[in-house]
Structure 1
């Protein structure tokens, strides 16, 4: 028996319209039919960018449920996401940010059926950070595709930023998911069937975004519940400063290698299991 495809639930920020279009195409190929999305734009985003993103979604048949503007407080995404999940209704929800492209260890409907058969109410993933071959934070040409522009995948999020690399990628509608989709209190994903979350964050403009986040978190313009967000931003900015504005792709800690959205990396299931089961949050996070 094939399960009903999950609703994709996402809060979309000011990404490039071609990235949003590629993201929608990716999930449609996985079998997603229903997109329950909202846009949230901080005040610095020009009105023309907002209109371009809304138009890009509508051009491919995705109508946003809601559009809001204002500071990107730490609680903003979670509150908007939960309202979207309520609207999405019963069943499974696929949770993905607009720079996250999931790659499952099998067809999506089989992943869900396996979770149901084994009594899991969530499915987990691990971030795989995608960067350019040089580590430079550059843009990309839609006709070339993301794999060509950002061919390397590695573990930057937790090994440099010391941030949580875990993701809840699928959850039953009545299961609570924490801020950032990193965990689900009271529920543990199957550690042997973790999705690769290709994380295309490290693009042109991300340094300015991180600098803005650091400044607004430091002065309280963007509210944060812990020191983590500011500390993570400062770690990245320090690294970029030490390496001429680039990510050091030769640092063995990050294990960068060539990967593709067409197939899981070699030995992914064992690699992801080892990282997720060994990972522990920093003392200030208050997470488990």
Structure 2
């Protein structure tokens, strides 16, 4: 008898309404067990930490752990792997708090199909969500995320040169790389790729990116490669050139109206094409 996967997440200082919407979304997908760890860098006020922890408990989830301190590049992976060890056997669903996964079939069906075909991981592809104006705005919980950020496109790899691929589900014994981007020795089925609606581009993210660049550059936060810092710098440079907004009219990004209620019609072919052809960015001196 198949059981639903355990959701594994390391969560930072997000808005309480985002956490609530995220939990509702995954419960709607059928997730019953959440293993969450909070990590808060030093700049986060006590009241924000306490509000998130209280909100988590009100949602019926007892955080597995809470830590504070620098957000080194390895911090997330270490906390995630500890949660996975606690979760034990079965399938693990891996999601950041700004990632809302959308599947072409129910979770139990996705897992059954993967096991039947011998796959030990299921893949996803990031679909970056932005406001219709391109501004990095806040949102009203009563309106919902689809109303506030109606456009979806390919910002992560086509502007930031980041890896848009995700391992969204993995069996307990499969090791997953930093950022959940890869699982060494395991290839997802490229014909059944989940859409990872990525609600990162909200109010406050520019301050977060500037802090990330500053702390990684100074060594306050330890990095494994300069990739994360470089991606943040590219986004900051882009909005600096475009009056503080993301240029949603740039055809490279393929922004269009999307919804959490239904997958984009073209998604299977679109996702397969990107998932199978993406390669790490080779800097040529031109962006």
Give the TM-score range, shorter chain: over 0.9
Counterpart position of 2:135: 136
Cα deviations across residues 221-249 of structure 1 (Å, max 9, x unaligned)?
Answer: 11101111111111011001001111000
Cα deviations across residues 196-234 of structure 1 (Å, max 9, x unaligned)?
Answer: 000000000000000000111111111101111111111
TM-score, normalised on structure 1? 0.97
Counterpart position of 1:240: 239
Deviation >2 Å, runs of 4+ = none
Is residue 2:102 matched to residue 1:114?
A: no
Structure 2 segments unaligned to the other structure (5+ residues): none
Cα deviations across residues 164-208 of structure 1 (Å, max 9, x unaligned)?
Answer: 000000000000000000000000000000000000000000000
| Displacement after TM superposition at 1:55 (Å) | 0.9
Cα deviations across residues 36-87 of structure 1 (Å, max 9, x unaligned)?
Answer: 0100000000000001100111111011000000100000000000000000
| Displacement after TM superposition at 1:283 (Å) | 5.2
Counterpart position of 2:93: 94
In the alignment, the residues of structure 2 paired with residue 221 and residue 135 of structure 1 have an alpha-carbon distance, to the nearest angstrom, of 32
Give the match's secondary structure for 1:10: strand
RMSD of aligned C-alpha atoms? 0.8
Counterpart position of 2:2: 3
In the alignment, the residues of structure 2 paired with residue 68 and residue 194 of structure 1 have an alpha-carbon distance, to the nearest angstrom, of 33
Give the match's secondary structure for 1:183: coil
Counterpart position of 2:250: 251
Counterpart position of 2:169: 170
Structure 1 segments unaligned to the other structure (5+ residues): none
In the alignment, the residues of structure 2 paired with residue 227 and residue 5 of structure 1 have an alpha-carbon distance, to the nearest angstrom, of 37
Is residue 2:229 matched to residue 1:263?
A: no
Counterpart position of 1:25: 24
In the alignment, the residues of structure 2 paired with residue 213 and residue 264 of structure 1 have an alpha-carbon distance, to the nearest angstrom, of 32
In the alignment, the residues of structure 2 paired with residue 197 and residue 179 of structure 1 have an alpha-carbon distance, to the nearest angstrom, of 17
Cα deviations across residues 82-103 of structure 1 (Å, max 9, x unaligned)?
Answer: 0000000000000000000000
In the alignment, the residues of structure 1 paired with residue 282 and residue 46 of structure 2 have an alpha-carbon distance, to the nearest angstrom, of 40
Give the match's secondary structure for 1:270: helix
Counterpart position of 1:79: 78
Give the match's secondary structure for 1:25: helix
